[in-house]
Amino acid sequence: MKIVSITEVRQDATNIIRHAQESAEPVLIVQRSKPAAYVVGAAQYEALRREAFLLEVRAAEEEIRRGGLTAYDSVAALMASIDAEDASEPADATGARPGPARCTDDGPGYSRVAGPINHGEVG
């Protein structure tokens, strides 16, 4: 694996990116002698994402085979189950209870996961 400093990236980003695209190995970028980031070619990144997705699918299929999933008759029943789980979790120092993360869409091609939200709680 090629290792480059952040200074080298500033000076020669084009060649470093080209190396990552043409190589099967990522380029490690170090900052103050500590790992800061990896640069991988787009094809390698997409292959890694696809592999991670398939691993998640296989894990879900295995969980289904084991019977470890609950089937709900409606969305309302699912939400009631989630709310019951949230209520059983301890509150933080402010009295808020953790809720499920929600995904917000901040424009085309960009979304982020917002922090915990409180369902039905005022505060």
Contact 36, 12 (CB under 8 A): no
Distance CA 118, CA 113 (A): 15
Q: Which residues make Cβ contacts (< 8 Å) with residue 43, sequence separation at least 6? A: 21
Q: Which two tokens stand for residue 120?
A: 């039905």
Determine the residue type at 26: P
For residue range 49-94, list pLDDT tens digits in order: 999 999 999 998 888 888 867 778 899 989 998 998 887 777 666 6
Residue 18: phi, psi to the nearest 5? -60, -45
**Pick from 41, 31, 43: nearest CA to 4:** 31
Q: What is the pLDDT of residue 121?
A: 47
In the chain, what are the domains?
A: 2-64 (3.40.1620.10)
Which pLDDT band holds residue 95 (cuts at 50, 70, 90)?
low
Query: How much is the mean pLDDT over the chain?
Result: 80
> What's the predicted TM-score (pTM) here?
0.50
